[in-house]
Structure 1
Amino acid sequence: MFDLRRWLLRTAIVCFCSIHLAQAQSTDENALQRYTAQGQKALASGRYEEAERAFEKIRELEPGMAEVHANLGAIYFQERKFDKAVPALRQAIKLNPHLVKSATLLAISLSELGRYSEALPGLEKGFHGSSDSEVKRMCGLQLERAYTGTQRHNKAMEVAIELNRLYPEDPEILYHTGRLFGNFAFLTMQTLAQVAPGSVWRHQAAAEAFESQGSYDLAVREYRTVLELGPGRPGIHFRLGRTLLKRSQQAHSTEDANEAAKEFGRELELDPTNANAAYELADMHRDAGEFEEARQLFEQALKYYPDFEDAHLGLAAAFIAQQRMQDALPHLKKAIALNADNEVSWYRLSQAQMALGNTAEQQKAFAEFQRLRTQKSSQQEAARELFSRSEVTKQKLDSTVPQ
């Protein structure tokens, strides 16, 4: 909830001035002055319950003053008493249709009460028409909620994209955008399951969902169903291979690992330009000590995807294993140019420079490796694993690296 105190104080001053001008007609001038002073003082210190009581008394004495209702409605809003805020704000607008902030608070209050259809016109006006950044932000967030509540998911997505553009580093905006995209994806997949339950697309969606959840047995079954329905479908042998590889690592299964290698090979037979499949097969050969086979496949991956960071690192590792340090250097430097924050690149560069006798360069690379290793946050690493699915096996430090 945003802080209304400054706006309330400004409106309260206007209210006080209006009351002062009207005092000649008032039946209780002293009471008006007392309650107004109490209300202003309470607002200034954020004591909203006390301010509420004061302005309720003022409303009894001056029921025809729009600013009194506007203040009271804003106080109710700040206290999250939206059921009380709505009638107070409606009365303020009825008495003075030019109270723009009151109209905005009314729309947000209606949305908070789940009265989305009533809230939409005001929220749309606030989001699309206001020049006030905070008003636009709040109306946008509530507009996402109202569109979702009225099953207008496409409109909610449009608002989310616009909010992301306007507030690219706002944590709350980013959270709600991610949640909306996730919800939209779920609803889309749900519709797919309803309209085409036996289609290749439904089975592929299910396979990818199971894979992302770590349900590898179910994912393997669905990917194989996809291949039965479309034997030449591009990318599926690769995805099946990736799932089998992850299952082999989880269960320490040599059989699954061998099957994964076969699937990567089948993918390359169908599509030699699939850099991911070439990379995975290359890395399996490198792990098995088959460095020449690994080199050829890493180079195949880079032929079709020259900026493939992990392929450059894998090829460099194969060259280092073959004592071809000079050949490894350009690939390590390219990997660093693509991503200077990868500690693996700096460590392997330090290895190559040490083998070449370049002491100063080796020390520089190792110092950068140590710096990155020290600052790496385990929480950030966990978040990356939680929110992103790597398309390929990432290059990692060797087990012999000093801790």
Structure 2
Amino acid sequence: MTVRSVLFRVNELLPSSSSYQRAWRAGLGWLLFTASICVSAQVSVVPPEFIQATQDMREGKLREAADGFAAAVRRQPGFAEAHFNLGLVDEELGKYDEAIVSLREALKLKPHLHGASLFLGIAEFRLNHLDDAAAAVQKETSAYPKDAPAWMWLGVVRLAQDRPEDAADALDKAAKLSPDDQDILYHRGRAHLLVSKNSYAEMFKANPDSWLVHRVLAQANAEA
């Protein structure tokens, strides 16, 4: 078995991009179906449209919820949670550009609104705006360092940026916070496999005749 085949074996174990969709759905569900009615300091009365839209969102009636939250925003433009929930629904509907606008407005009104930076980062990620996604999710991890989904998503974004070591660091933190989460463990494994693959490639490049290279080949043959 050659070094190239060892590296290929590591690479072929990496999952397809469909895993991102599974993690995205799981991450969105983390907040979408636990949304509660929160009153911003700028809002004296919760608009009735917001109350009905929140119920529609919990029941999966996303288009009705979007209409309701949009009406709530028109009635109370300073209601951060209405902008936030409108962004969540638009994100679930695949309207990422609209979601980004709403989530940014929510953060403008309430900069540390829990989850807003995370879902802004997810929307940016879905549009392949990786630098913007990383910046948004990092803001969430800074504000809520015990939030495992935020650390997981930072790892996912770092993987997409081809920064596996940074991804592994973020996903290790996520795993400490939520050690049994299957999505976290899945992406953590991907990150560490890539770190291993890159390390072996650099080792072979530096000295293809090194005894450590032969040791890797022997281990790969034994595990084949």
So what's the TM-score if we normalise by structure 2?
0.71
1:83 to 83, 97, 100: 97
Equivalent pairs counted in the alignment come to 196
Give the conservation status (yes or no) of the 8 Å contact 2:148–2:173: no
Structure 1 residues 123, 153: closer, same or farther in 2, change over 3 A? Answer: same
Q: Please say if 1:172 is aligned against 2:183.
A: yes
CA gap 1:188/1:164 in 2 versus in 1, 3 angstroms: same
Contact 2:69 2:85 in 1 (8 A): yes
Q: Give the letter aligned to residue 167 of structure 1.
A: S
| Structure 1 residues 125 and 76: CA distance shift in structure 2, 3 A | same
What is the CA–CA distance in structure 2 between the aligned matches of 1:167 and 1:206, rounded to whole Å? 35
Instruction: Indicate the residue corresponding to 2:31 in structure 1.
Output: 4
Q: Which residue of 2 aligns with 1:110?
A: 124
Q: 1:139 Cα deviation (Å)?
A: 0.9
Assess if the C-alpha contact under 8 Å between 1:4 and 1:78 holds in 2: no
Which among 109, 113, 121 is matched to residue 135 of structure 2?
121
Partner Cα separation in structure 2 for residue 120 and residue 212 of structure 1: 37
Q: CA deviation at 1:118?
A: 1.5
What is the CA-CA distance between 1:47 and the residue it aligns to?
A: 1.5
The C-alpha deviation readout for 1:136-155, integer Å capped at 9, x for no partner, is: 11111111112222233222
Structure 2: give runs of 5+ residues left out of the alignment. Answer: 1-25
Partner deviation per Cα, 1:241-276 (whole Å, 9 max, x = no partner)? xxxxxxxxxxxxxxxxxxxxxxxxxxxxxxxxxxxx
Q: 1:47 to 1:200 in 2, by over 3 A?
A: same
Distance (whole Å) between structure 2 residues aligned to residue 162 and residue 97 of structure 1: 24
Distance in 2 between the 1:140 and 1:191 partners?
28
Q: Which residue of 1 aligns with 2:6?
A: none
CA displacement 1:348-383 (0-9 Å, x = unmatched): xxxxxxxxxxxxxxxxxxxxxxxxxxxxxxxxxxxx
Relative distance call for 1:54 and 1:155 in structure 2 (3 A) is same
Q: 2:83 aligns with which of 59, 69, 80?
A: 69
TM-score by length of 1: 0.42
Q: Which of residues 196, 214, 217 is equivalent to 1:185?
A: 196
Q: Is the 8 A contact 1:110 1:118 kept in 2?
A: yes
Gaps of 5+ in 1: 22-31, 214-403
CA distance in 1, matches of 2:43, 2:74: 15
Secondary structure of the residue aligned to 1:198 is coil
- Paired residue secondary structure (1:99): coil
Are the structure 2 counterparts of residues 54 and 163 from structure 1 closer, same or farther at C-alpha, using a change threshold of 3 Å? closer
Shift of 1:91: 1.8
Q: Corresponding residue for 1:153?
A: 164
Q: How does 1:4-403 map to 2 (within 5 A)?
A: 4-5=31-32, 7-11=34-38, 14=39, 18=43, 20=45, 33=48, 35-36=49-50, 38-130=52-144, 133=146, 136-213=147-224
Letter paired with 1:154: E
What secondary structure, in the 3-state scheme, does the structure 2 residue paired with 1:18 have? coil
The alignment yields a C-alpha RMSD, in angstroms, of 3.0
Cα distance 1:48–1:9, how it changes in 2: closer, same or farther (>3 A)?
A: farther
The answer (yes or no) to whether the contact 2:78–2:109 under 8 Å persists in 1 is: yes
* Cα 1:143/1:197, change in 2 over 3 Å: same
Task: Determine which structure has greater relative contact order: mean sequence separation of CA pairs < 8 Å that are 6+ residues apart, divided by chain length.
Answer: 2
Of the two, which has the highest radius of gyration?
A: 1
